[in-house]
Amino acid sequence: PAKRAKQDKGLFNWTANAFIKQSILSPRQRRIIKETENFKLDLNDAIESIEQSGINPIFPKKLWKSILRDEYTELSEVHALVAAYHNPEAPRLASNKFAEALESSTFAKPAPTKAITDQNTWRRAWRATADAISFAFADRRTELTAYEEHIGRLFDDNLASFHRNIINYDKAVRQLIGSRRDILFDEFDHAEVARFRTMYLLPTGTHFSAPSFSTPRADQAGSRPRNRSRGICRKFNRGDCDGCERKHLCATCNESGHGEHTCRKAARK
């Protein structure tokens, strides 16, 4: 068979700019790239080593690949699988080679998800993810803690009705970081991250979702006094009203001057 031609990466349009970018990366960023490239030589073997270590954090096996690639991890999947781990009634599937092969095939069911709806579910899923990242990569705990504090302050400083925007902002930022090698989690003052804050957290932002405030119905508003003058007085119709704001009309014929107890029309029925 003919020898396959080797790809010339020097012809890529982005090669020169990428080389310049690589040259100005920080030592932390370089170390993470080096560790990631080492994991990617054999991801399955690396995951096997993690599980056999005996000191690995609780984390879904199927999501370790995104951690080791230093890519975006879907927190709703983390939340679902970690919650299932702590649920004694959840089924426990025996691990085997066939099941693992099926999981990576197109026949596998979509990963279960459990929505991130508030700061509590976000923190639960994020901390499990941060534990996995800091287990795999050296000296990233401080970076990840700083990011949690950044998002936590946004939760603390805003009303709960605004929190959906914070969750969307976090997701966008983590997708950005997972697709790049020049932004770390504690670099939330980076121009691209700051731009996302404008887009997701400011009312003028293109991805801002205005909080919805439910208004109680008139018949359910406990603090709103009823307009008693609109209703027909029941006591008047029974003949025992001493005077009130309600309408003194007959409940049968809707005429004034008498109540239902003396209404002739009511007597004829």
At residue 76, the pLDDT reads 95
What are the tokens at 201? Answer: 């957290």
Output phi, psi for 247, to 5 deg. -75, 130
Q: Are 196 and 151 in contact (CB under 8 A)?
A: no
Query: What phi, psi does 71 have (nearest 5°)?
Result: -115, 175
pLDDT tens for residues 200-252?
999 999 999 987 655 555 555 455 545 555 688 887 777 777 667 778 888 88
The predicted-structure confidence for 76-127, as pLDDT tens digits, reads as follows: 999 998 877 766 565 554 454 544 544 444 444 556 788 999 999 999 999 9
Q: What angle do CA 200, 201, 207 make, to 5 degrees?
A: 25
How confident is the prediction for the chain on average, in pLDDT?
83
Q: How far is CA 193 from CA 6, 155, 156, in A?
A: 37, 17, 20
- What is the 3-state composition of the chain as percent helix, strand, coil, each rounded to the nearest 5? 55, 0, 45
